[in-house]
Amino acid sequence: MFDFGPFFDNIDQILEGFWATVRLAAVAAVLSMLFGTILVSFRVSPVPVLRTFGTVYVNVLRNTPLTLVLLMCSLGLNDELALKFSESNSTYYWWAVLGLSGYTAAFVCEALRAGVNTVPLGQAEAARSIGLTFGQSLRMIILPQAFRAVLAPLGSVLIGMIKNTTVAAAAGYAEAATKMKDLLDLPSFTSGALPLFIGVAAGFMILTLPTGFFFGWLHKRMAVAR
Protein backbone atom coordinates (compact mmCIF):
# COMPACT_ATOMS: atom_id res chain seq x y z
CA MET A 1 0.00 0.00 0.00
CA PHE A 2 2.84 2.37 0.83
CA ASP A 3 5.24 1.26 -1.90
CA PHE A 4 6.74 4.52 -3.21
CA GLY A 5 8.81 2.67 -5.81
CA PRO A 6 6.49 3.38 -8.78
CA PHE A 7 6.19 7.00 -7.62
CA PHE A 8 9.94 7.60 -7.73
CA ASP A 9 10.29 5.58 -10.93
CA ASN A 10 8.01 8.13 -12.62
CA ILE A 11 9.20 11.22 -10.76
CA ASP A 12 10.27 12.86 -14.03
CA GLN A 13 6.70 12.82 -15.35
CA ILE A 14 5.34 14.09 -12.04
CA LEU A 15 7.82 16.97 -11.99
CA GLU A 16 6.93 17.72 -15.61
CA GLY A 17 3.29 17.96 -14.58
CA PHE A 18 4.08 20.33 -11.72
CA TRP A 19 6.20 22.48 -14.02
CA ALA A 20 3.16 22.74 -16.29
CA THR A 21 1.09 23.73 -13.23
CA VAL A 22 3.60 26.41 -12.26
CA ARG A 23 3.65 27.83 -15.80
CA LEU A 24 -0.13 27.98 -15.89
CA ALA A 25 -0.54 29.43 -12.39
CA ALA A 26 2.18 32.07 -12.77
CA VAL A 27 0.82 33.56 -16.00
CA ALA A 28 -2.80 33.30 -14.85
CA ALA A 29 -1.92 35.05 -11.56
CA VAL A 30 -0.45 38.07 -13.36
CA LEU A 31 -3.32 38.32 -15.85
CA SER A 32 -6.02 37.85 -13.21
CA MET A 33 -4.51 40.61 -11.07
CA LEU A 34 -4.39 42.98 -14.04
CA PHE A 35 -7.90 42.14 -15.24
CA GLY A 36 -9.27 42.16 -11.70
CA THR A 37 -7.88 45.66 -11.17
CA ILE A 38 -9.55 46.84 -14.38
CA LEU A 39 -12.82 45.23 -13.29
CA VAL A 40 -12.81 46.90 -9.88
CA SER A 41 -12.23 50.27 -11.56
CA PHE A 42 -15.35 49.52 -13.61
CA ARG A 43 -17.33 48.50 -10.51
CA VAL A 44 -16.64 51.79 -8.72
CA SER A 45 -16.73 53.95 -11.84
CA PRO A 46 -19.15 56.89 -12.06
CA VAL A 47 -20.03 55.72 -15.60
CA PRO A 48 -23.20 53.55 -15.45
CA VAL A 49 -22.26 51.42 -18.48
CA LEU A 50 -18.91 50.45 -16.96
CA ARG A 51 -20.49 49.70 -13.58
CA THR A 52 -23.09 47.50 -15.24
CA PHE A 53 -20.49 45.62 -17.27
CA GLY A 54 -18.31 45.01 -14.20
CA THR A 55 -21.27 43.87 -12.10
CA VAL A 56 -22.62 41.49 -14.74
CA TYR A 57 -19.19 40.01 -15.49
CA VAL A 58 -18.35 39.39 -11.83
CA ASN A 59 -21.73 37.91 -10.94
CA VAL A 60 -21.80 35.63 -13.98
CA LEU A 61 -18.24 34.33 -13.60
CA ARG A 62 -18.41 33.86 -9.83
CA ASN A 63 -21.55 31.73 -10.20
CA THR A 64 -20.33 29.64 -13.15
CA PRO A 65 -18.29 26.45 -12.56
CA LEU A 66 -14.67 26.82 -13.67
CA THR A 67 -14.91 23.54 -15.58
CA LEU A 68 -17.69 25.02 -17.70
CA VAL A 69 -15.63 28.16 -18.37
CA LEU A 70 -12.67 26.08 -19.53
CA LEU A 71 -14.88 23.86 -21.69
CA MET A 72 -16.33 26.96 -23.32
CA CYS A 73 -12.79 28.12 -24.12
CA SER A 74 -11.57 24.81 -25.53
CA LEU A 75 -14.69 23.34 -27.15
CA GLY A 76 -16.62 26.51 -27.86
CA LEU A 77 -14.06 29.12 -28.84
CA ASN A 78 -11.22 26.87 -29.99
CA ASP A 79 -13.02 23.97 -31.69
CA GLU A 80 -16.39 25.35 -32.78
CA LEU A 81 -15.43 28.95 -33.62
CA ALA A 82 -11.87 28.00 -34.68
CA LEU A 83 -10.34 30.85 -32.65
CA LYS A 84 -6.78 29.63 -32.14
CA PHE A 85 -3.70 31.25 -30.64
CA SER A 86 -1.50 29.02 -32.83
CA GLU A 87 -1.63 25.78 -34.77
CA SER A 88 0.44 23.94 -32.17
CA ASN A 89 -0.67 22.31 -28.93
CA SER A 90 0.30 25.50 -27.06
CA THR A 91 -3.06 26.93 -28.05
CA TYR A 92 -4.65 24.77 -25.30
CA TYR A 93 -2.23 26.25 -22.79
CA TRP A 94 -3.32 29.76 -23.68
CA TRP A 95 -7.01 28.85 -23.56
CA ALA A 96 -6.40 27.40 -20.09
CA VAL A 97 -4.61 30.61 -19.09
CA LEU A 98 -7.43 32.75 -20.49
CA GLY A 99 -10.19 30.74 -18.82
CA LEU A 100 -8.44 30.49 -15.45
CA SER A 101 -7.36 34.14 -15.34
CA GLY A 102 -10.75 35.41 -16.50
CA TYR A 103 -12.47 33.32 -13.83
CA THR A 104 -10.06 34.32 -11.05
CA ALA A 105 -10.24 38.00 -12.02
CA ALA A 106 -13.84 38.10 -10.77
CA PHE A 107 -12.69 37.05 -7.29
CA VAL A 108 -9.73 39.44 -7.38
CA CYS A 109 -12.16 42.23 -8.27
CA GLU A 110 -14.40 41.52 -5.29
CA ALA A 111 -11.43 41.33 -2.91
CA LEU A 112 -10.17 44.67 -4.20
CA ARG A 113 -13.64 46.21 -4.00
CA ALA A 114 -13.70 45.31 -0.31
CA GLY A 115 -10.36 47.11 -0.02
CA VAL A 116 -11.72 50.16 -1.81
CA ASN A 117 -14.55 50.30 0.75
CA THR A 118 -11.98 50.55 3.56
CA VAL A 119 -10.54 53.79 2.17
CA PRO A 120 -12.12 56.76 4.00
CA LEU A 121 -14.56 58.69 1.83
CA GLY A 122 -12.89 61.94 2.81
CA GLN A 123 -9.76 61.00 0.88
CA ALA A 124 -11.69 60.68 -2.38
CA GLU A 125 -13.42 63.99 -1.68
CA ALA A 126 -10.08 65.64 -0.94
CA ALA A 127 -8.72 64.30 -4.23
CA ARG A 128 -11.63 65.83 -6.12
CA SER A 129 -11.19 69.14 -4.29
CA ILE A 130 -7.62 69.50 -5.55
CA GLY A 131 -8.69 68.78 -9.12
CA LEU A 132 -7.81 65.11 -9.55
CA THR A 133 -9.95 63.15 -11.99
CA PHE A 134 -11.62 59.88 -11.02
CA GLY A 135 -8.88 57.91 -12.78
CA GLN A 136 -6.10 59.85 -11.09
CA SER A 137 -7.58 59.53 -7.60
CA LEU A 138 -8.20 55.83 -8.17
CA ARG A 139 -4.66 55.22 -9.41
CA MET A 140 -2.74 57.37 -6.93
CA ILE A 141 -4.84 57.34 -3.76
CA ILE A 142 -7.54 54.67 -3.59
CA LEU A 143 -6.10 51.55 -5.22
CA PRO A 144 -2.69 51.66 -3.47
CA GLN A 145 -4.47 51.64 -0.10
CA ALA A 146 -7.00 49.05 -1.26
CA PHE A 147 -4.23 46.64 -2.29
CA ARG A 148 -2.49 47.02 1.06
CA ALA A 149 -5.75 46.40 2.94
CA VAL A 150 -6.59 43.13 1.18
CA LEU A 151 -3.22 41.45 0.68
CA ALA A 152 -4.28 38.47 2.82
CA PRO A 153 -7.56 37.88 0.91
CA LEU A 154 -5.70 38.23 -2.39
CA GLY A 155 -3.30 35.55 -1.20
CA SER A 156 -6.25 33.27 -0.52
CA VAL A 157 -7.60 33.95 -4.02
CA LEU A 158 -4.24 33.03 -5.57
CA ILE A 159 -4.01 29.86 -3.47
CA GLY A 160 -7.46 28.91 -4.71
CA MET A 161 -6.33 29.58 -8.26
CA ILE A 162 -3.33 27.27 -7.87
CA LYS A 163 -5.64 24.49 -6.71
CA ASN A 164 -8.06 25.27 -9.53
CA THR A 165 -5.36 24.40 -12.08
CA THR A 166 -6.32 20.77 -11.45
CA VAL A 167 -9.31 21.17 -13.78
CA ALA A 168 -7.26 22.66 -16.62
CA ALA A 169 -7.64 19.34 -18.43
CA ALA A 170 -11.09 20.61 -19.41
CA ALA A 171 -9.28 23.05 -21.69
CA GLY A 172 -7.07 20.30 -23.09
CA TYR A 173 -4.00 21.27 -21.04
CA ALA A 174 -2.10 18.57 -19.16
CA GLU A 175 -0.83 19.62 -15.72
CA ALA A 176 -0.03 17.77 -12.48
CA ALA A 177 -3.50 16.30 -11.91
CA THR A 178 -3.68 15.09 -15.52
CA LYS A 179 -0.25 13.47 -15.22
CA MET A 180 -1.42 11.76 -12.03
CA LYS A 181 -4.47 10.35 -13.81
CA ASP A 182 -2.29 9.11 -16.70
CA LEU A 183 0.05 7.39 -14.26
CA LEU A 184 -2.84 5.75 -12.41
CA ASP A 185 -3.86 4.13 -15.70
CA LEU A 186 -0.47 2.36 -15.88
CA PRO A 187 -0.31 -1.31 -14.69
CA SER A 188 2.58 -0.44 -12.36
CA PHE A 189 0.26 1.72 -10.24
CA THR A 190 -2.29 -0.99 -9.49
CA SER A 191 -0.99 -1.12 -5.91
CA GLY A 192 0.79 2.25 -5.68
CA ALA A 193 -2.08 4.71 -6.00
CA LEU A 194 -1.92 5.93 -2.39
CA PRO A 195 1.76 6.98 -2.55
CA LEU A 196 1.00 8.83 -5.79
CA PHE A 197 -1.89 10.71 -4.16
CA ILE A 198 0.33 11.58 -1.19
CA GLY A 199 3.16 12.75 -3.44
CA VAL A 200 0.94 14.96 -5.60
CA ALA A 201 -0.80 16.40 -2.52
CA ALA A 202 2.62 17.21 -1.03
CA GLY A 203 3.58 18.90 -4.30
CA PHE A 204 0.57 21.19 -4.15
CA MET A 205 1.33 21.99 -0.51
CA ILE A 206 4.83 23.02 -1.59
CA LEU A 207 3.21 25.48 -3.99
CA THR A 208 0.42 26.81 -1.77
CA LEU A 209 1.92 26.99 1.73
CA PRO A 210 4.78 29.40 0.82
CA THR A 211 2.24 31.53 -1.06
CA GLY A 212 0.06 31.78 2.05
CA PHE A 213 3.03 32.54 4.32
CA PHE A 214 4.33 35.18 1.92
CA PHE A 215 1.03 37.04 1.65
CA GLY A 216 0.52 36.78 5.42
CA TRP A 217 3.93 38.33 6.02
CA LEU A 218 3.32 40.96 3.35
CA HIS A 219 -0.04 41.84 4.88
CA LYS A 220 1.52 42.45 8.30
CA ARG A 221 4.35 44.48 6.80
CA MET A 222 2.17 46.61 4.49
CA ALA A 223 -0.92 46.98 6.69
CA VAL A 224 -2.57 50.40 6.53
CA ALA A 225 -2.66 52.11 9.90
CA ARG A 226 -6.11 53.55 10.64
Encode pLDDT of 188-218 as tens digits. 666 667 888 888 899 999 999 999 999 999 8
Which pLDDT does position 4 carry in this prediction? 72
User: Where do the H-state alpha helices sit in the chain?
Assistant: 5-9, 11-43, 48-62, 66-71, 90-118, 121-129, 134-137, 143-149, 151-164, 176-184, 193-222
| Residue 30 amino acid letter | V
Does residue 113 lie within any of the structural domains?
A: yes
Does residue 201 lie within any of the structural domains?
A: no
Task: Give CA–CA dist 214/194, Å, rounded.
Answer: 30
- What pTM did the predictor assign? 0.89
**Domain of 169?**
22-175
Does residue 31 lie within any of the structural domains?
A: yes
CATH number at residue 139: 1.10.3720.10
Confirm if 21 and 176 have CB atoms less than 8 A apart. yes
Residue-wise pLDDT for 88-147, tens only, equals 667 888 989 999 999 999 999 999 999 998 888 888 788 888 888 888 888 888 898 889
Task: Give CA–CA dist 43/86, Å, rounded.
Answer: 34
Does residue 214 lie within any of the structural domains?
A: no
> If pLDDT is split at 50, 70 and 90, which confidence band does 226 have?
low
Number of domains composing the chain: 1
Does residue 87 lie within any of the structural domains?
A: yes
Residue-wise pLDDT for 48-81, tens only, equals 999 999 999 999 999 999 999 998 888 888 777 7
Which pLDDT does position 1 carry in this prediction? 61
Does residue 181 lie within any of the structural domains?
A: no
